[in-house]
Amino acid sequence: MILLDSISKDLTSWINALKEELPADEVVTWDEVKDPSKVKVAVVWNHRKDLFQRLPNVELVASLGAGVDHIVNDPHLLKEIPVSKVISSHLTVPMSNYCIGAILHFHKQFDKYWEDKNQKRWHQEFDPEKPMKIGILGLGELGTDLAKKLVLLGFEVHGLSRTKKNLESVSTYGGNELNTFLSRINTLVCMLPATPKTEGIINQDLLNKLPKGSYLINVGRGKQQIDNDILKALENGRLKGAFLDVFPEEPLPKTSPLWTHPKIFITPHIAVVTKVEAAVPQIVENYHRLRNGEPLINLIDRDKGY
């Protein structure tokens, strides 16, 4: 039996797609579960609080996205239960496009030309492109795709991950080289997973290590950023602009000063929205593998938490 559960997402299309792929199996929501001990796979996005306590025989928990913090932060999920995430070009393509859009916005100074337009000012600069040295924090599935595409666009690209990677034409750094990485870039793109080590990583101390007039793009997770430190960095010129897709509290409260700051672009956690066609084939594949006793795909490392 496959159970789908979310308190924030309408799961109808997911359930229909899974039922179509697995016509002989039971695909259910929590309200339809008569015997929770029959649930073998739980497919979740922001699941109900006590879900894992009620599933004694679950053998796989599948995230409906790339992030798994909503699952691994649940203390009731036993450490030995495998957790899978979505890995797909349906995710990497929109994520890279979001980041490239934000980078090009700053690179081509579209914010300045928008202001010029409002002032009816014809200011033809000799050198209209802002030089960009882009640093990607997190060179995983998403970060690697972005790094490769930025190289093709002709940008200078740096990338940092916990373990140093080898990527053609990208300057790479290991986790203990954060200061060097920051000193060589002027645009920081955060694509980190939410873990205890990444919580609050975008803080005053980190931002002060960037050169003055840098740019920030955060598409990782909101708890990685300290909003007040970002506001201070914009005030003192350390940052010239920011694109934020994620926030410590979502939806972003109406009282947040981020909403009205002229140098901050806000999107409501839509850098990627996982589509049915991205996740369902992988869930079905793992369901068959589980039944056949074969190794599962797209599993996260439960010790690392991502």
Catalytic residues: 221, 269
Q: Does 272 bind ligand NDP (CB under 6 A)?
A: yes
191's contact among ligand OXD, ligand NDP, none, with CB below 5 to 8 A by partner kind, is: ligand NDP
Residue 248's SS3 state is: coil
Binding residues among 126-145 for ligand NDP as defined by CB under 6 A: 138-143
* CA dist., res. 85 & res. 62, Å (int): 6
Span interacting with ligand NDP, options 52-60, 185-193, 207-215, 231-239, rule CB under 6 A: 185-193
Q: Which is nearer to ligand OXD, 32 or 277 (CB)?
A: 277
Binding residues among 48-87 for ligand NDP as defined by CB under 6 A: 65-67
Q: Does 219 bind ligand NDP (CB under 6 A)?
A: yes
Other CB atoms within 10 Å distance of the CB of residue 143: 28
Q: Which is nearer to ligand OXD, 85 or 107 (CB)?
A: 85
Binding residues among 15-54 for ligand NDP as defined by CB under 6 A: none
* CA dist., res. 62 & res. 77, Å (int): 12
* CA dist., res. 217 & res. 214, Å (int): 10
* CA dist., res. 72 & res. 61, Å (int): 10
Q: 262: burial class by Cβ within 10 Å (0-12, 13-18, 19+)?
A: exposed
Residue 13's SS3 state is: helix
Question: Does residue 106 contact residue 132 with C-beta atoms inside 8 Å?
Answer: yes
Least distance between ligand OXD and beta carbon 66 (Å)? 4
226's contact among ligand NDP, ligand OXD, none, with CB below 5 to 8 A by partner kind, is: none
* CA dist., res. 111 & res. 263, Å (int): 9
Positions that interact with ligand NDP (CB under 6 A)? 65-67, 91, 95, 138-143, 160-163, 175, 191-195, 197-198, 219-221, 245-246, 269, 271-272, 306
